[in-house]
Structure 1
Amino acid sequence: MQYVNFGQTGMKVSRLCLGTMGFGTPAWRPWVMDESASTPVIHAAIERGINFIDLADFYSIGVSEEVVGRAIRHIPRHKLVLASKCLYAMSDDVNDQGLSRKHIFDAVDASLRRIGTDYLDLFVIHGFDPSTPMEETMRALDDVVRSGKVRYIGASTMYAWQFVKMNYLAKVHGWTSFVSMQCQLNAAYREEEREMIPYCQHEGLAVTPFSPLARGLLSGNATSLRNKTDQFTTQQYDDQTSLDIARAVGQIAENRGVLPSQIALAWVNARPGVTSTLIGVETIEQLDQNISALDMVLTPQELFEIDRCYTPCDVINDYNVNRIPRQPR
């Protein structure tokens, strides 16, 4: 396993980060694995050197954190870099969501209890909350860091201007600022390369892309349970351009005698500014395939075949769901 500094911090993370959205209970999403299926995969990831694990309270509405927490209970805490997130509604209660001071404090405490740890190495806001002043959110995040419950803070899934302004407010007031951005990036969606990732590079912030397989589109397995039941796949990648890119990735994989998922992951791993790529795996075999992609280097011609299909599209986030369908070149 390869390790790198997490942005400008001294913390070292594996080049691959174990995503945990698929661990928890299928009662939440039909493609989510239960505890008995999740635990061996979590153990295998750690045994292979992955020290960075990405959680969120929203995954299986807390069950994912509980499942992962029990799986890692025997691992010395200093060997793991644990991240969790908050924003999305955890119940019908009006205050059990968002980025208010109240909910951030409650969410951190609840995640610590479920995971069974005294602190989080990284606490990430899962998106932007337009109903809460930025100053309130950043002050609350600074306070949870000062309390010792959180080591670093990060953000995910928002417009670049929102991320820049929140970091600016933190620096002006002397509060803890973000050290990372978790954004969607793959061969079929690369709009974050316009502003978000260049900003992160300029500021020395870690970039941790999620969905390197475009919600499963680039996996080469169109009949998988997730591809057939995850509404995000259809909402975000049901256009001809995405399908053309998937075909290009598949052809390169066939020519090389490898899997499309490995080509798609290798593409993301090599993008400028990328620190650690989030992976979601269902089996130990898939885990090993993803790890082997770290050593893959795509040729200029292979990159051309993938990139030539790309056309710009709307930024994907929670506040831009009615996206305009893009047309192929």
Structure 2
Amino acid sequence: MKYRKLGNSGLKVSEIGLGSWLTYGTAVEKDQSTACIHKAYEQGINFFDTANAYNKGAAEVVLGEALKEYPRSSYVLATKVYFSMGKGPNDRGLSRKHIIEQCDASLKRLGVEYIDLYQCHRYDTETPLEETLRALDDLVSQGKVLYTGVSEWSAAQITDAVHIAKEKNLRPLVSNQPIYNMLVRYIEKEVLPVCEREGLGQVVFSPLAQGILTGKYKQGQPVPSSSRAANDRTNSVINSYLNDEVLSRVQKLENIAQNLGVKLSQLALAWVLKHPGVSSAIIGASRQEQVEENVKALEIEIPQPVLDEINLVLAEINGFVPNW
């Protein structure tokens, strides 16, 4: 395993992280989930990401119980706050009340005394940004949280947060968690440059586009019966990728991976991690073999001619070729 600093902080996270969205506590049985988490730890993964909203706290419970047998100092535990956790008017968002209450609830579900990385799951337009940042800062002062970050915030929102933190002498945000993969690259234009300038590392989710970049979905063929796309509880996001244009480009990418002697999933992860602004790529896994296979992506070096070939294929999808 290889590790990178999380933004400008001193915290080091594994280049491959393990997430729990749409998997643990939702679509994967507990024993199977625990086995995947243990396999990840054995492979050197130290960054484990979840959220209070993942199946209303069930994912936090599964993750916390699975990690209980390991020394608390040996892993980096991340969770989030924002989405609705009840029917009351204060049961969602980034108000001081909701943040403080949900942090305590997450600590209880995870079975730990502190959260390494506490993230604002989305931006809250109804709460003053200073209120949110002060609540996060207080949690750090109390020792309940060590570092703070955001998820899917725009470049302007991140910039505002950085400026307020500096002006009010609050602890800085250290990370952003956006979606980022070969097919979804909006962060390259504004978010990545702003975060690199301000010292926020990216812990990106869905680096394999919910399994599309594994090559398991083929143009003109039915989805595999065991895949997420065949599961009514997890297919809403995946189905947005399932069109002929995307799948035809994915086939080209798979051909490139085969010529390089690697799996498409490994090439996709290596491509994401090639960007220096990315601290960790968060994978999802329902089987231990998937964890092992994905970790092997760290051994891949993408030659410049191959990278050029990949970027030409990607330009056909979204018309934007990166400068790296």
Shift of 1:244: 4.0
**Alpha-carbon distance in structure 2 between the residues aligned to 1:328 and 1:267:** 15
Choose between structure 1 and 2 for higher RCO, CA contacts under 8 A separated by at least 6 residues. Answer: 2
CA distance, structure 2, for counterparts of residue 292 and residue 185 of structure 1: 19
Q: Equivalents in 1 of 2:23, 2:71: separation in Å?
A: 21
1:100 corresponds to which of 68, 73, 95: 95
C-alpha displacement at 1:311, in angstroms? 4.7
Aligned to 2:214: 219
* Contact map agreement 2:207 2:269 (CA 8 A) in 1: yes
Identical aligned pairs, as a percentage? 40
Deviations 1:83-110 (Å, cap 9, x if unpaired)?
1001111222221111111110011000
Q: Look up the SS of the partner of 1:207 in the other structure.
A: strand
**51-60 or 110-119, which deviates more:** 51-60
Q: 1:241 Cα shift? A: 5.0
Tell me how far apart the structure 2 counterparts of residues 244 and 170 of structure 1 sit (CA, whole Å).
45
* 1:226–1:23 CA distance, 2 compared to 1 (3 A): closer
Q: Note if contact 1:13-1:52 (Cα within 8 Å) is conserved in structure 2.
A: yes
Instruction: Give the total of aligned pairs.
Output: 311
- 1:139 paired to 2:134: yes
Instruction: Give the alignment of 1:69-218 within 5 angstroms.
Output: 69-218=64-213
Per the normalisation by structure 2, the TM-score is: 0.90
Deviations 1:234-262 (A, max 9, x none): 33x35555334312221112223432111
Show the counterpart of 2:288: 284
RMSD of equivalent CA atoms: 2.0
- Which structure 1 residue ranges, 4+ long, deviate > 6 Å from structure 2? 326-329
CA contact (8 A) 1:127 1:155 kept: yes
Question: Following TM superposition, by how much is the alpha carbon of 1:231 offset from its aligned partner in structure 2, in angstroms?
Answer: 1.2
Write the letter of the residue equivalent to 1:49. Answer: G
AA partner of residue 178 (structure 1): L
Shift of 1:328: 11
User: What's the secondary structure of 1:209's corresponding residue?
Assistant: strand
In structure 2, how many angstroms separate the alpha carbons of the residues matched to 1:231 and 1:147?
A: 39
Distance in 1 (alpha carbons) for counterparts of 2:276 and 2:65: 36
Structure 2 residue 247 is matched with structure 1 residue 243:
yes
* AA matched with 1:211: S
Q: Please say if residues 188 and 245 of structure 1, whose CA atoms lie closer than 8 Å, have aligned partners that are also in contact.
A: no
* Structure 1 range deviating more: 49-58 or 16-25: 16-25
Partners of 1:133 and 1:239 in 2: CA distance: 40
Secondary structure of 1:216 counterpart:
helix
Q: Which amino acid aligns with 1:251?
A: N
- Which position in structure 2 is the counterpart of 1:317? none
Do 2:23 and 2:285's aligned partners in 1 also have CA atoms closer than 8 Å? no
> Aligned letter for 1:273?
G
| One-letter identity of the residue aligned with 1:139 | R
SS of 2:8's equivalent in the other structure is coil
Letter in structure 1 aligned against 2:149: G
Q: Which residue of 2 aligns with 1:297?
A: 301
Deviates more, 1:155-164 or 1:202-211: 202-211
- Asked whether the 8 Å contact 2:23–2:284 carries over to 1, the reply is no
What is residue 4 of structure 1 aligned with on the other side? 4
Contact 1:23–1:68, Cα closer than 8 Å, also in 2: no
SS in 2 for 1:272: coil
- Runs of 5+ in structure 1 lacking a partner? 27-31, 314-325
Q: Which moved more, 1:101-110 or 1:299-308?
A: 299-308
Structure 2 CA distance, aligned partners of 1:311 and 1:234? 22
Matched, 1:232 2:237: yes
Secondary structure of 1:88's match?
coil
Q: Which amino acid aligns with 1:268?
A: V
User: Quick one: structure 1 residues 307 and 227, their matched pair in 2 at CA, closer, same or farther if it must change by over 3 Å?
Assistant: farther
Paired with 1:10 and 1:100, the residues of 2 have a C-alpha distance of: 28
Q: Given that residues 40 and 291 in structure 2 are in contact (C-alpha distance below 8 angstroms), is that contact kept between their aligned partners in structure 1?
A: yes
1:245-300 Cα shifts (integer Å, max 9, x gaps): 31222111222343211111111111231111111111111111111101111222
Residues 207, 82 of structure 1: alpha-carbon distance in 2 compared, 3 angstrom cutoff: same
Equivalent residue, structure 2, for 1:29? none
Q: Secondary structure at the match of 2:279?
A: coil
1:22 Cα deviation after fit: 4.0
Question: Which residue is 1:308 aligned to?
Answer: 312
Give the one of 267, 270, 295 matched to 2:271. Answer: 267
Does the Cα contact within 8 Å between 1:187 and 1:264 map onto a contact in 2?
yes
Whole-angstrom CA distance in 1 between matches of 2:301 and 2:276: 14
Q: Report the equivalent of 2:220.
A: none
- In 2, Cα distance between equivalents of 1:328 and 1:81: 34
